[in-house]
Structure 1
Amino acid sequence: MTMRIPVLLLVGCLCSVEWVQAQEKKSSKDLPPIPEIKLDRKEPVVYQKDIEPIFAEKCMYCHSGNVIEGKYDMSTYAGVMKGGKRGAVIIAGKSSESILYHFSSRQKKPIMPPKSEDPLTPEELALLKLWIDQGAKPPTGVREKAKIVLNFPPALVKPVRAVAVSPDKSIVATGRGNQIHLFDAKTGNFLKSLVDPNLKHPDGKPAAAAHMSLVESLEYAPDGKTLISGSFQEAILWDPATGAIRKRIDGFADRVVAIAFSDDSQRFVTGGGAPTEDGEIKIFKIDGTPEFEVKSGHSDTVFGVRFSPDGKMLATCGADKFVKVWSVPDAKLIKSFEGHTHHVMDVGWKADGKFLASAGADNAIKVWDFEKGEQARTINGHSKQVTRLMFVGKTPMFITASGDQQLKMWNVDNGGNVRNFGGSKDYLYAVSVSTDGSLVVSGGEEGITRLYNGTSGAIIKEMVPPADGKPEVKPDAKPEAKPMPKK
Structure 2
Amino acid sequence: MKRLLILSLACIVTTDAQTVDYTKQIAPLWDTYCVDCHSADDADGEFALDTFAALMKGGEEGAAIVAGKADESLLVKFLEGRSGRGGKNEFMPPGKREKLKAEEIALIKAWINAGAKGPLITEAKPMPKEVITPKIAPTVPPKRSIQAVAFSPKAQLIATARYGEVELVNPVNQVTVRKLTGFTGKVNAVAFSPDGETLYAAGGEAGIVGIVRSWKTSDGSPLRSFEGHTDAAYALAVSPDGQFIATGAYDQKIRLWDTATGKEVALLKGHNGAVNGLSFRPDGKVLASASADRTVKLWSIPNGQRLDTLSQPTKEQTSVVFSADGKTLFAAGGDNRIRVWSISAAAKEGTNKILTSRFAHEGGLLNLALSADGKLLASTATDKTLKLWNTADLTEKLLLEKQPDWSSALAFTDKAQLIAGRVDGTWSVYEAAKTVLKP
TM-score tier (shorter): 0.5 to 0.7
Counterpart for residue 135 of structure 1: none
User: Alignment partner for residue 290 of structure 1, among 254, 258, 263?
Assistant: 263
CA contact (8 A) 1:159 1:445 kept: yes
Change in CA separation of 1:179 and 1:442 when aligned onto 2, cut-off 3 Å: same
1:168 is paired with a residue of what secondary structure? coil
Q: Counterparts of 1:13-412 in structure 2 under 5 Å?
A: 142-149=126-133, 155-168=141-154, 170-196=156-182, 211-232=183-204, 233-274=210-251, 279-371=252-344, 372-412=351-391
1:461 aligns with 2:434: no
Whole-Å Cα distance in 2 between the matches of residues 258 and 293 of structure 1?
A: 16
Deviation at 1:169, TM superposition (A): 6.5
Change in CA separation of 1:440 and 1:406 when aligned onto 2, cut-off 3 Å: same
Whole-Å Cα distance in 2 between the matches of residues 150 and 429 of structure 1?
A: 28
Whole-Å Cα distance in 2 between the matches of residues 427 and 289 of structure 1?
A: 34
Counterpart for residue 428 of structure 1: 407
Whole-Å Cα distance in 1 between the matches of residues 327 and 314 of structure 2?
A: 24
More displaced stretch, 365-374 vs 314-323 = 365-374
Deviation at 1:220, TM superposition (A): 0.8
1:448 aligns with 2:432: no
CA contact (8 A) 1:350 1:394 kept: no
For the pair shown, which has the larger CA radius of gyration, 1 or 2?
Answer: 2
The one-letter amino acid of 1:404's match is D
1:415 aligns with 2:394: yes
Deviation at 1:423, TM superposition (A): 5.2
Whole-Å Cα distance in 1 between the matches of residues 385 and 218 of structure 2?
A: 32
Whole-Å Cα distance in 2 between the matches of residues 460 and 392 of structure 1?
A: 17
Whole-Å Cα distance in 2 between the matches of residues 422 and 250 of structure 1?
A: 40
CA contact (8 A) 2:239 2:284 kept: yes
Whole-Å Cα distance in 1 between the matches of residues 402 and 179 of structure 2?
A: 25
Counterpart for residue 99 of structure 2: none
Counterpart for residue 33 of structure 2: none
CA contact (8 A) 1:169 1:434 kept: no
Counterpart for residue 115 of structure 2: none
Counterpart for residue 4 of structure 2: none
Moved over 4 A (4+): 140-143, 150-154
Change in CA separation of 1:436 and 1:336 when aligned onto 2, cut-off 3 Å: farther
Change in CA separation of 1:327 and 1:182 when aligned onto 2, cut-off 3 Å: same
Deviation at 1:434, TM superposition (A): 2.0
1:413 is paired with a residue of what secondary structure? coil
Whole-Å Cα distance in 2 between the matches of residues 420 and 185 of structure 1?
A: 23
CA contact (8 A) 1:389 1:401 kept: yes
1:252 is paired with a residue of what secondary structure? coil
CA contact (8 A) 2:281 2:326 kept: yes
Counterpart for residue 63 of structure 1: none
Change in CA separation of 1:144 and 1:282 when aligned onto 2, cut-off 3 Å: closer
Whole-Å Cα distance in 1 between the matches of residues 283 and 245 of structure 2?
A: 14
The one-letter amino acid of 1:430's match is A
Whole-Å Cα distance in 1 between the matches of residues 361 and 165 of structure 2?
A: 29
Whole-Å Cα distance in 1 between the matches of residues 261 and 353 of structure 2?
A: 35
Deviation at 1:143, TM superposition (A): 5.0
Whole-Å Cα distance in 1 between the matches of residues 433 and 390 of structure 2?
A: 16
2:393 is paired with a residue of what secondary structure? coil
Change in CA separation of 1:435 and 1:338 when aligned onto 2, cut-off 3 Å: farther
CA contact (8 A) 1:222 1:265 kept: yes
The normalised TM-score by structure 2 is 0.65
More displaced stretch, 319-328 vs 287-296 = 287-296
Deviation at 1:421, TM superposition (A): 3.1
CA contact (8 A) 2:184 2:211 kept: no
Q: Deviations over 1:180-214 (max 9, x none)?
A: 21221012233332222xxxxxxxxxxxxxx2211
Q: Deviations over 1:317-342 (max 9, x none)?
A: 10111111111112222222111111
CA contact (8 A) 1:249 1:288 kept: no
Q: Deviations over 1:17-69 (max 9, x none)?
A: xxxxxxxxxxxxxxxxxxxxxxxxxxxxxxxxxxxxxxxxxxxxxxxxxxxxx
